[in-house]
């Protein structure tokens, strides 16, 4: 990369003067000025290059600046940059077809949104109208988006400031053996007890009041907890038993992240509604959506669906989705995530866990991995407390700084680092990144007891 510190300083100065950043105390942040990005890397104006182990916010599943997708966006811009949602438009029709062909079961109708949170909002609206019921169950340790209903569903501290009693959301515990709420010692116990807990929650809330249960197929930001065998099938059964709509949120887990087109395919489960965004076009142009089952689509066959967006199925975003899905198919990107996840990432991370006292657990699938960092492997005390900020979060900040100094941009959330590079990452890139993580974990080790 070329260096141009002056240009970087100008970008930074205008940012600090005028850009109001997400989830941040505006005066306490120091955003890196980015000069460019390509493939699995990005670079700043000072000549520092980083291997992106975060895929942005886990959305650049085909990396940055894929030439075929960039060209498709340019062509779409030249031919039809935008068009209102009530018309049939080629890019939109084709994107919907390619998505519907890949979604499980009879999820064959696609409602397009601008991103993940509004996909979640609309999935809930569909479920409430379809059932005529008010409430929704969602999991602690989840993230469903930043809009009002979606943040109320979310089970992490970002919900607290916007919590609204009127949202009709009840939280429950999904399975997570490493920090079991059910005193479970095996995956099977965790699964059975989590299902029993969910059914009891349904009984005490009143089955006739519950429109939907929403789960991330594999919870992402909350810590990449791959559900035990049988759990999602069990939730599907409970939904059928009580007439509840089953929503799977695949905003992060979908489009190759788990080494399948959709994480639901790992578990042979078919929800009634499935939300997606991010990987659908690698985030090149904002796009999300809801994949809708035949039964729920029928509810809105003769009756209007009361919802919409000016940019629903925006041609530029849909052209990017068509090109991305075609690239993923032509270049075996989903298969790459599955193969290198199993042959390179998993064994390397397990070796790191053996050698580093700070690594309490390794878990994940495909290109979707979490390292749970702890002060003590026996007590499993997290390296930093839940929702730690400032000084209390210093050990994770030190780890992240060390990773960056070694050329890897790490994903850090609470006491975890996630290994979530693009799904088309190469073996050589992975090895480079894993070596840098190894060195950074030695810094984390200094905080263990």
Interface positions with ligand PLP (CB under 6 A): 57, 115-117, 120, 143-146, 216, 220-221, 249, 251-252, 277, 288
Please choose, from the candidates 225, 266, 257, the residue with its C-alpha nearest in 3D space to the C-alpha of residue 60.
257
- CB closer to ligand PLP, 191 vs 277: 277
CB of 288 to ligand PLP, least distance (A): 6
| Residue 32 DSSP class | P
CB of 423 to ligand PLP, least distance (A): 16
CB of 286 to ligand PLP, least distance (A): 8
Do the beta carbons of residue 136 and residue 153 sit within 8 Å?
yes
CB of 189 to ligand PLP, least distance (A): 26
CB of 321 to ligand PLP, least distance (A): 14
Q: What angle, rounded to 10 degrees, do the helices at 315-330 and 67-79 form? A: 150
- CB closer to ligand PLP, 143 vs 411: 143
- CB closer to ligand PLP, 115 vs 395: 115
CB of 435 to ligand PLP, least distance (A): 28
- CB closer to ligand PLP, 131 vs 221: 221
- CB closer to ligand PLP, 249 vs 272: 249
Percent helix, percent strand, percent coil in the chain, to nearest 5: 45, 15, 40
- CB closer to ligand PLP, 116 vs 313: 116
DSSP class per residue in 149-182:
HHHHH--SGGGGGG--GGG-EEEEPPP-GGG-SS
CB of 151 to ligand PLP, least distance (A): 9
- CB closer to ligand PLP, 277 vs 425: 277
Q: What region, left, alpha or beta, does residue 69 occupy, with left being phi > 0 and alpha being psi -120 to 50 degrees? A: alpha
Burial 66-80 (b: 16+ CB within 10 A, else e): beebeebbeebeeee
Determine how many CB atoms are found less than 10 A away from the CB of residue 137: 24
CB of 158 to ligand PLP, least distance (A): 11
Determine how many CB atoms are found less than 10 A away from the CB of residue 428: 9
Do the beta carbons of residue 250 and residue 275 sit within 8 Å?
yes
- CB closer to ligand PLP, 220 vs 256: 220
Please choose, from the candidates 14, 23, 16, the residue with its C-alpha nearest in 3D space to the C-alpha of residue 387.
23
User: Residue number with the shortest CB distance to ligand PLP?
Assistant: 116
- CB closer to ligand PLP, 248 vs 373: 248
CB of 407 to ligand PLP, least distance (A): 25
Count of all residues that appear for the chain in the document: 449
Give the pairing of strands 245-249 and 273-276.
parallel
Element (H, E) at 191: helix 187-205
């Amino acid at each position: 990369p070329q260096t141009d510190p002056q240009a970087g300083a100008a970008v930074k100065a205008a940012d600090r003067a005028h850009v109001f950043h997400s989830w941040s105390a505006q005066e306490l942040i120091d955003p890196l000025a980015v000069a460019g990005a390509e493939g699995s890397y990005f670079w700043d104006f000072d000549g520092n290059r980083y291997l992106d182990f975060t895929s942005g916010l886990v959305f650049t599943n085909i990396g940055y600046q894929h030439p075929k997708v960039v060209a498709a966006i340019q062509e779409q811009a030249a031919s039809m940059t935008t068009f209102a949602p009530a018309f049939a438009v080629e890019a939109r029709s084709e994107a919907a077809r390619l998505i519907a062909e890949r979604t499980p079961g009879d999820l064959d109708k696609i409602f397009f949104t601008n991103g993940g949170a509004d996909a979640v909002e609309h999935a809930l609206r569909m479920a409430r109208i379809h059932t005529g019921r008010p409430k929704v169950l969602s999991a602690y340790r989840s993230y469903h988006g930043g809009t009002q209903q979606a943040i109320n569903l979310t089970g992490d501290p970002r919900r607290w400031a916007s919590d609204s009693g009127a949202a009709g959301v009840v939280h429950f515990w999904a399975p997570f053996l490493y920090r079991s709420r059910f005193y479970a010692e095996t995956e099977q116990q965790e699964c059975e007890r989590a299902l029993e807990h969910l059914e009891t929650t349904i009984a005490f809330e009143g089955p006739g009041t519950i429109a939907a249960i929403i789960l991330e197929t594999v919870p992402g930001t909350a810590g990449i907890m791959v559900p035990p065998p049988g759990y999602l099938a069990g939730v599907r059964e409970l939904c059928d038993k009580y007439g509840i709509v089953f929503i799977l949120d695949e905003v992060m887990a979908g489009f190759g992240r788990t080494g399948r087109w959709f994480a639901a395919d790992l578990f042979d489960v078919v929800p009634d509604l499935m939300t997606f965004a991010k990987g659908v076009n690698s985030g090149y142009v904002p796009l999300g959506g809801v994949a809708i089952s035949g039964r729920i689509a029928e509810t809105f066959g003769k009756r209007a669906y009361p919802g919409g967006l000016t940019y629903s199925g925006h041609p530029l975003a849909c052209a990017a989705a068509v090109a991305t899905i075609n690239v993923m198919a032509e270049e075996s990107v989903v298969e790459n995530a599955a193969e290198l996840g199993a042959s390179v990432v998993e064994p390397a991370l397990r070796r790191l866990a053996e050698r580093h006292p700070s690594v309490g657990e390794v878990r994940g699938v495909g290109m979707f991995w979490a390292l749970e960092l702890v002060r003590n492997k026996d007590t499993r005390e997290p390296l930093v407390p839940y929702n730690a900020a400032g000084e209390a979060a210093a050990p994770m900040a030190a780890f992240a700084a060390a990773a960056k100094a070694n050329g890897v941009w790490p994903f850090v959330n609470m006491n975890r680092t996630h290994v979530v590079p693009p799904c088309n990452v190469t073996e050589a890139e992975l090895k480079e990144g894993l070596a840098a993580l190894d060195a950074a974990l030695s810094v984390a080790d200094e905080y263990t007891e």
